[in-house]
Copies of this chain bind each other. A is one copy, B any other.
Amino acid sequence: MSLPLLEQLIEAFRVLPGVGQKTAQRMAYHVLERAREGGQRLSEVLAEAIEKIGHCVQCRDFSETEVCPVCASASRERQMLCVIESPADRLAIEHATSYRGVYYVLQGRLSPLDGIGPRELGLDKLEARLAQGEVTELIIATNSTVEGEATAHYLAQLARRNKVRPSRLAQGLPLGGELEYVDRGTLSHAFGSRSEISE
């Protein structure tokens, strides 16, 4: 009764976040009914992206090259380093602010219960970079969630230990909110009025 290939396709769509059986089915039908060209394109770009996109060796952001365009740019100010949880946060900051420093992407946040410690977030590499002395301000832009705040606290200590001034985005971010979803105005304001983290 069933179409093996169609069912394989429905199953394959479930790899996407928030996509259950019903949604996967709608996606498969939609592509086959009305969007075969777009589906073909998705298939090709997906394979190419998975093959070619890795992580920048300097900031851990996604990159097609060993060093990403931001880190490689001569026009970015290297003394300001903004620590974010995910690549999406960089896009949000680039869109909302005129920040011209560089980034460090944790690709997560400290979460001991999930086995995510400083090493998983590459904080050993971050500390080595701070120790080199080029960075003067560490802008800590982790989310204002419980885990984001705990991560910020840890990062502030790490900065001070290496004679780097830690700062945190100004209050103004909604409590418990994810940075990625904040509106541009709020994010821009919070970014501009970031405050130094006192002892």
Residues of A that sit less than 8 Å from B by CB: 1-6, 8-9, 12-13, 15-18, 22-23, 25-33, 35-36, 38-50, 52-53, 62-64, 68-70, 73, 86-88, 91, 94, 107, 181
A16 neighbours in B (Cβ, 8 Å): 27, 30-31, 42
A181 neighbours in B (Cβ, 8 Å): 22
The 8 Å CB contact of A52, one of B5, B23, B45, is B5
The 7 closest A-B pairs by CB, nearest first: A15-B38, A43-B46, A43-B47, A12-B42, A12-B45, A9-B49, A17-B30
The 8 Å CB contact of A1, one of B2, B13, B27, B69, is B69
Bound Cα distance from A4 to B49, whole angstroms: 10
A15 neighbours in B (Cβ, 8 Å): 31, 35, 38-39, 41-42
Given A17-B27, A38-B12, is A32 in contact with B6 using a C-beta cutoff of 8 Å? no
Additional 14 contacts, C-beta under 8 A, given A16-B27, A17-B30, A40-B50? A1-B73, A5-B49, A5-B53, A9-B46, A12-B42, A13-B42, A15-B39, A15-B42, A22-B181, A33-B86, A36-B50, A39-B46, A43-B47, A44-B47
Bound Cα distance from A188 to B107, whole angstroms: 48
CB distance from A73 to the nearest CB of B (A): 8
CB distance from A123 to the nearest CB of B (A): 18
A38 neighbours in B (Cβ, 8 Å): 12, 15
CB distance from A78 to the nearest CB of B (A): 16
A12 neighbours in B (Cβ, 8 Å): 38, 41-42, 45-46
Bound Cα distance from A145 to B97, whole angstroms: 47
Residue with the greatest number of chain B CB neighbours at <10 A, chosen from A5, A22, A88:
A5
Bound Cα distance from A22 to B26, whole angstroms: 19
Given A17-B27, A41-B15, is A32 in contact with B5 using a C-beta cutoff of 8 Å? no
Bound Cα distance from A199 to B23, whole angstroms: 39
